[in-house]
A = this chain, B = another copy of it.
Amino acid sequence: MLPWSAELAGRFEQTTYDSDLLRGNPLGDPHERPVLVYLPPGYDDSDQRYPAIYVTMGYTGHVGMWFNRTPFRQPYPELLDALFATGDVPPAIVVFVDSWTKYGGSQCLDSPGTGQYHSYLCEEIVAWVDATYRTVADRDHRAVTGKSSGGYTAMVTPLLRPDVFGALATHAGDAAFDLCYRPEFPARARTLRDKYDSSYEKFFESVATRTGRTTNEDLHLLEIYGYASAYSAEPDGTVLLPFDELGVINPDVWARWLSRDPVEMVREPQYADALRSLRAVWIDAGKQDEYYLDLGATAFQREARRVGVPDDRLHFELFEGTHGGIEYRYPLAVKWLAEQLAD
């Protein structure tokens, strides 16, 4: 009963998936991962096949948080179920994928700094879902969506693997790194200088003494390190920071970050082709987003139009809102994706 819980029309199955690709990952993070699968109303009473929508995580998020309850709101899984319970939306299977690491996330990329999270998603999880559930097992019936770092994943995954995903929805996804990440480097450099002798090593030593009491400042430092682990780790796993002890950019490392920026990627022909091939591209963000991801969203949209994504396959929207508390946006995108993926 609300507000404590909701009756669902469909149902969720949570499985622990044992990943070969994540085994022995450089951070020693678990290779056994929860996967949460939503089966829409009617799934158990038919032999219908369904499109599959994959949901990825924002930074510091993991699959164990999807059912977190907040006052006067319902968790996304319940909003999702309510959407499909209306019967007005073509049914779909929704898969919640985990990409947590010790640093709080992996951007769901393959990196020698964190592990093979991209391949884990595209190879292992997709195959397992298709083998386990009655999906329409082709890229034209597969979408990926997420918010923030999950929105990032939603943008780059179909660019990298258009053979696997044919649609995407990004909510306030990391994009235009010059706008969303780079402005924060001076503040991070200052914190490192004032508290940790400009050394991440000393920061990690310190944070280890604060188990369960991590501060926002800690999270900010972790986040940058996590991004560096995803974007600019050396083959041996060494993490290269994009700025020096004064916050001054390191152009070589920054170039590696930019090569993973969705906006920059679309300038390369193969990624432009991939983007143009998608059946549905949903882009939105709040106009008061604290990380200026509305500007990033607009920039990604500008690139999408430039490379020829047609209007009927592109939904772009800036809404009134900040970075937080926007989960009401997710079902809007899922509805549109489900309609676009229905044949």
Contacts and interface: CB of A to CB of B under 8 A. Distances in A.
Interface of A: 1, 3-5, 16, 30, 32, 34, 60-65, 68-74, 79, 98, 100, 104, 176, 178-180, 182-187, 189-190, 194, 211-215, 218-219, 246-249, 287, 292, 294-295, 298-299, 302, 325, 327-328
Contacts of A214: 71-73
Given A65-B70, A74-B212, 6 more contacts: A68-B69, A176-B248, A186-B292, A212-B328, A213-B325, A246-B299
A68 B302 CA distance: 38
Which 4 residue pairs spanning A and B have beta carbons closest together? A183-B183, A4-B64, A60-B71, A186-B292
Nearest to A59: B71
A299 B190 CA distance: 13
A248 B64 contact: no
A64 B1 CA distance: 10
Nearest to A61: B71
B292 A72 contact: no
A153 to B, nearest CB: 17
Chain A contact surface mostly: loop
A114 to B, nearest CB: 15
A206 to B, nearest CB: 14
Contact of A287 (B72, B194, B215, B292): B194
A104 B72 contact: yes
Given A62-B69, A69-B62, A190 B3 contact: no
Given A68-B69, A179-B186, A247 B295 contact: yes
Nearest to A180: B186
A319 to B, nearest CB: 10
Looking at A179, A249, A299, A302, the one whose CB has the most chain B CB atoms below 10 A away is: A179
A186 B295 contact: yes
20 contacts: A1-B32, A3-B62, A4-B34, A4-B98, A71-B219, A72-B104, A72-B211, A72-B218, A73-B214, A74-B212, A176-B248, A178-B248, A180-B186, A183-B183, A186-B292, A189-B295, A190-B292, A194-B287, A213-B325, A248-B295
A324 B39 CA distance: 36
Contacts of A294: 190
Nearest to A222: B72
Contacts of A70: 65
Contacts of A328: 212-213
Contacts of A179: 185-186, 246-248
A211 B62 CA distance: 25
B4 A62 contact: yes
Contacts of A190: 287, 292, 294-295
Contacts of A16: 1
